[in-house]
Amino acid sequence: MAAIRTLLVDDEAPARKRLLKLLRPFVDEGRIEIVGEAADGVEALSRMAEEDVDLLFLDIQMPELSGFDVLDRIPPDNRPAVVFVTAFDEYAVRAFQANATDYLLKPIEEDRIAESISRVEKQMISPQGRASTEERLVELLEYLDNQSMGDRPKEREQEYVQQLSVPGKDRLHIIPVDDLLSAEVQDGITRLYTLATTDVHPQKVNRHIVSFTLDALEQRLNPDSFMRVHRSAIVHIQQIREMISWFSGRYKIVLHGGHEVIASRARSKELRDRLSL
């Protein structure tokens, strides 16, 4: 069997680097050929227009185009095999409805990557022998159940994002999470507020619109540094400058740069206890 021509698609460079390392033994064995990497869905589509691709390792949450958006733009008859790679288990059923070969949760274990490669090879040798969607869903849900019951690797609990990629007009802005003041939902739109230091504005607050949800972001941020202070707001605790008593037992949180967030009453008490006020 010829080497499977493989494209890695993930908006986080460290994630692509780790995946490349996990796939290296299969490259050395001649089972996999890495034809390229893509940092977002647009680049992935461009690479596939230039290269013959048999297999996509595809992240789901990416700026501009999600992993599902990428698949929607590929004619069904021309789609390569797809292994979704994500930190979130909430998209599992939708992934298999999209006819994915496998669904890997970050951080990926060596035995799971080997299992995925074997599944892809089996599918390519004998498409008729591929397990039904229902069978694969049962396997997946059992796997996710085991993960939630404690079989998930301990390192998963410690793998928090260190930077965020935010789409601009003609570029991606890379924002260290240390510069993040808050993430807030307003009118159904998620916005990041960040602190930028310039000669003209020593503490300028910038605002960025992003496509991911607060729930998704909260799972990726270190809870030692970030806290949900309202159903519509997450704040960076180390960026709190002061807390001002507000109405009905709530606090107005003043962050560096002068940005303000109102905490809910229950979360105000929790934040007070946490900061030992």
Output the domain CATH number for residue 133: 3.40.50.2300
What pLDDT is attached to residue 24? Answer: 95
What pLDDT is attached to residue 89? Answer: 63
Same-domain pairing of 105 and 212: no
Residue 128: inside a domain, yes or no? yes
Same-domain pairing of 90 and 143: yes
Same-domain pairing of 136 and 29: yes
Residue 165: inside a domain, yes or no? no
Residue 166: inside a domain, yes or no? no
- Tell which of 99, 131, 158 closes a domain: 158
Residue 16: inside a domain, yes or no? yes
For residue 198, give its domain range: 172-275
Same-domain pairing of 105 and 69: yes
In the sheet that holds 55-58, the strands lie side by side as 32-38, 4-9, 55-58, 81-86, 102-105
Amino acid (1-letter code) at residue 67: G
Backbone angles phi, psi at 6, to 5 degrees: -125, 135
Residue 43: name the closest of 147, 171, 228, 192 by CA.
171
What pLDDT is attached to residue 45? Answer: 94
What pLDDT is attached to residue 201? Answer: 60
Residue 93: inside a domain, yes or no? yes
Low-confidence ranges of the chain (pLDDT < 70): 88-93, 96-97, 126-159, 197-202, 277
- Tell which of 158, 191, 215 closes a domain: 158
Same-domain pairing of 107 and 193: no
What is the DSSP code string of 220-264? HS-TTTEEEEETTEEEEGGGEEEEEE-GGG-EEEEEGGG-EEEPP
Same-domain pairing of 242 and 133: no
| 54 three-class SS | coil
Residue 87: name the closest of 109, 60, 105 by CA.
105
Same-domain pairing of 190 and 235: yes
Residue 55: name the closest of 30, 29, 36, 28 by CA.
36
What pLDDT is attached to residue 136? Answer: 56
- Tell which of 131, 158, 185 closes a domain: 158
What pLDDT is attached to residue 129? Answer: 46
Same-domain pairing of 144 and 204: no
Residue 167: inside a domain, yes or no? no
Same-domain pairing of 66 and 150: yes
What pLDDT is attached to residue 150? Answer: 46
Number of domains into which the chain is organized? 2
Same-domain pairing of 145 and 44: yes
Residue 219: inside a domain, yes or no? yes
What pLDDT is attached to residue 183? Answer: 94
Same-domain pairing of 27 and 132: yes
Same-domain pairing of 144 and 221: no
Task: Give the containing element (helix H, strand E) for 28.
Answer: helix 13-28
Q: Residue 202's domain is classified under what CATH number?
A: 2.40.50.1020
The Cα-based distances of 48 to 37, 54, 59, 185, 228 in angstroms read 10, 10, 15, 35, 40
Residue 57: inside a domain, yes or no? yes
